[in-house]
Structure 1
Amino acid sequence: MEDDGAKSSPAVHPALAPLSYLLGSWKGEGEVGFPTINSFSYGEQLQFSHSGKPVMAYTQKTWKLNSGEPMHAESGYWRPKPDGTIEVVIAQSTGLVEVQKGTYNAEEKVIKLQTELVGNATKVKEITRVFKLVDGELSYEVQMATNQNSLQPHLKASLKRL
């Protein structure tokens, strides 16, 4: 990001190597649903970047497909550990904050995350995220639990590298 004019970007930190396939920009479409809302589709772009440190920066933005009007946005950091665990912190544009822990499988290219903490939320109690890379396509599923609904599907998307 502050890399403009730099002749080369820093080398990927060895801790990020198992997840280096995520680095770059991804774009596609997703679908949102939950018992308390009407389902609809949306456009989405994700970006994973690094500064040479053992952490990946993450940004996400979504928009309405018909108008391009901005919708949700979030950003955070992904910290993979050598033992196959990962810590993720995400701040959402809605004011909600997630601290997630989980695991990654570098060979199968699967990352599973579970909230340790959902901060500044009155209704959301739990969030899980599963990311998979299959045939060059990055997909994810998000499940959510609220004070009125148990953990169930909320978001899913399929993205292609830009």
Structure 2
Amino acid sequence: MASESGISPPPLHPLVQPLAFLLGTWRGEGEGGFPTIQAFNYGEQIQLSHWGKPVIGYTQKTWKASSGEPMHAESGYWRPKPDGSIEVIIAQSTCLAEVQKGTFDEQSKTVSLKSAMIGNATKVNEIWRNFEVSNDELMYTVSMATSSHALQPHLRATLKKL
């Protein structure tokens, strides 16, 4: 199938194939909070794409649910490995960079990530991300630890595939 540009997308790389359930554009709503901030609701769009290489491109942006005002953005790359593990690098608009390692399961359509390294100007020490796809919904949770707070829930959202 040709894209709008008339160019057919390349075939999936064999290492990306088990994560094909993630590919596409997802849009929906989420909620967040942490002891140091007031709870909030947000809209979100995530895009996971490929170009025939053994890596998935990742972009995300959020906006205030009440006003549409931009909030947060991040982008990076997800690199699946033949043993079912995955390495992820994400750069956030807050100048926080995450290197995460985890696992994926094609049958249960899940990805679990835990920070291996975080570089930032804030005091974030650890981030865990869990993704699950069921039907045409992508659900995720993000837990975070800072220098003054233990690992705890920070974000959760449900997005529908566009």
TM-score range, shorter chain: over 0.9
Deviations 1:94-115 (CA, angstroms, capped at 9, x unpaired)? 0000000000011001100000
Q: CA deviation at 1:65?
A: 1.1
Residue 121 of structure 1 and its aligned partner are, at CA, apart by 3.6
Alignment deviations for residues 41-80 of structure 1 (CA, whole Å, 9 cap, x no partner) = 1000000011100000000000011211111000000001
AA partner of residue 51 (structure 1): W
Could you tell me how far apart the structure 1 residues matched to 2:29 and 2:134 are?
A: 16
Matches within 5 A, 1:1-162: 5-162=5-162
Cα distance in 2, alignment partners of residues 161 and 136 from structure 1: 5
TM-score by length of 1: 0.96
Q: Any stretches of 5+ residues in structure 1 without a counterpart?
A: none
Give the Cα–Cα distance (whole angstroms) in 2 for the partners of residues 30 and 72 of structure 1. Answer: 13
User: Which amino acid in 2 is paired with 1:37?
Assistant: I
Instruction: Report the CA distance between 1:136 and its aligned residue.
Output: 2.2
AA in 2 matched with 1:107: Q
Count the aligned residue pairs: 160
How far apart, in 2, do the equivalents of 1:97 and 1:134 lie?
29
Aligned AA (1:15): L
Q: State TM-score, norm by structure 2.
A: 0.96
Spell out, residue by residue over 1:122-148, the C-alpha distance to the aligned partner (whole angstroms, 9 max, x if none): 310000000001232100000000000
Inter-partner Cα distance in structure 1 for 2:39 and 2:120: 25
Give the fraction of aligned pairs with identical amino acids, expressed as a percent.
62
Please identify runs of 4+ aligned residues in structure 1 that moved more than 4 A. none
Residue identity in the other structure for 1:39:
A
- Tell me the secondary structure at the aligned position of residue 103 of structure 1: strand
Cα distance 1:122–1:65, how it changes in 2: closer, same or farther (>3 A)? closer
Q: Structure 2: which 5+ residue stretches go unaligned?
A: none
RMSD (CA atoms): 1.1
Q: Distance in 2 between matches of 1:64 and 1:72?
A: 9
